[in-house]
Amino acid sequence: MRGFRAVSRPAWAAVLSDLAGGGEYRKSPVEILATASSMVTHHRYAESSGLRATRFGRWTDGVNALRADCVSFAGYWSEYNERVRGELAALAGKGAEPGPLWVVLGDSTAQGLGAPGPHGGYVGQALQELRRRTGQPWRLLNLSVSGSLIRDVLANQLSQLPTSPDLVTCGVGANDVFYSSPSRLLADMRTLLAEVPDGTVMLDLPLPAGLWGVVGRAGVPYITRINRVINEGAAERGLPVAEVSAHFTSPWAGKFSADSFHPSQDGYRDWTRALLAAIPAVQPADAQLPVGWPDGIRCPGDPVASAAGGDPVPSAAGARGSRRHHLDRQLLDRGMGAGGRLVRNLQGLRLARRVYPQ
């Protein structure tokens, strides 16, 4: 399916993913657990016993729903990037000034996974604020890939950087917590900090205090250690650091998506504040962000004037499908329970096949 790229995984993770039906798409440990658990929660006895409607049942449905979003979001950004590259090439051919360019490196959080649509993540929200605060027609290339490890950014994303972008941001490392040993993770992070372009804004990792109760809190010291390496390496090169760990904090209500792992759109608002605070050109950093769906950030697929530096216009099919998907998710999330989330998952799979056919 267009736009989805493979990421590196250790052999043990590949084996577990294949056993869970992963195929070319390598599932995370969270997805593997949810896939296995859904065999129980989707059993006919789970309906009669009420297990399907429990928090556990809703969680398995939520993970499955985001898996469909992972594919459709990747396809959206792939099309988006192609159109931006086309615009930049056309402007260069005319000798016209293209305006500032922001290039994003990272993982599923840069894709916006967990929000109702791709532009509901921190990248979409920050892009709107960049345009509003600077009054300039910022363009965006989002090179991130869901599931990326640090070594994926080093091997695959850095090589795609265009010449002299005006802003580069990089947020990666959360997946390495699951897939890399501490020594490998820290070594890879130091290598990344040495190789990103000058002036790159690095995002630190959110502290898992709001995740999975005591398990999440037990992981805080390790994440703090990783963040210390990020800050030390960035300081050596004079790189700004967006302190997500200091902004993405309690109260946690409403800040996580249906998989209880990725931020929701409200959670990404905290990430956006952290990023904007690290970019001196867009101060004041304490400016209020819009409440709800960010002002000016349209449903993925809504046409805007790209000639004025707006978002590229996707295909007509992409526009209709993405808008319908966003509205369906809003309705289902407002109270249709686990059954609604299952319908949402099926709708997401159909959307991915309809909008991004092979």
C-beta of residue 344 within 8 angstroms of C-beta of residue 65: yes
The answer to whether residue 32 is domain-embedded is no
The answer to whether residue 246 is domain-embedded is yes
Question: Tell me: the pLDDT tens digits for 233-271?
Answer: 999 999 999 999 999 999 999 999 888 889 999 999 999
Question: Which has more confidence, 192 or 63?
Answer: 192
Question: Tell me: the pLDDT tens digits for 329-357?
Answer: 443 344 334 444 443 444 443 443 333 33
The answer to whether residue 199 is domain-embedded is yes
Query: Among 27-36, 127-136, 154-163, 265-274, which is the least confidently predicted range?
Result: 27-36
pLDDT at 4 over 50: no
The answer to whether residue 349 is domain-embedded is no
- Name the residue range of residue 296's domain: 97-308
- 7: confidence class by pLDDT, cuts 50, 70, 90: low
The mean per-residue pLDDT over the stretch 159-171 comes to: 96
Give the chain's mean pLDDT.
75
The answer to whether residue 161 is domain-embedded is yes
Find the largest Cα–Cα distance for the chain: 68
Element (H, E) at 168: strand 167-171
SS3 103: strand
Q: What is the pLDDT of residue 253?
A: 92
Element (H, E) at 203: strand 201-203
CATH, residue 188: 3.40.50.1110
The mean per-residue pLDDT over the stretch 34-61 comes to: 51
In one letter, which amino acid is 306? S
Q: What is the pLDDT of residue 202?
A: 98
Question: Tell me: the pLDDT tens digits for 34-43?
Answer: 454 454 444 4
The answer to whether residue 267 is domain-embedded is yes
The answer to whether residue 55 is domain-embedded is no
Q: State both tokens at 78.
A: 């792939």
Angle, CA of 58, 61 and 64, to the nearest 5°: 150
- Look at the chain and report how many structural domains it folds into: 1
The mean per-residue pLDDT over the stretch 201-214 comes to: 86
Q: What is the pLDDT of residue 36?
A: 46
Q: What is the pLDDT of residue 280?
A: 75
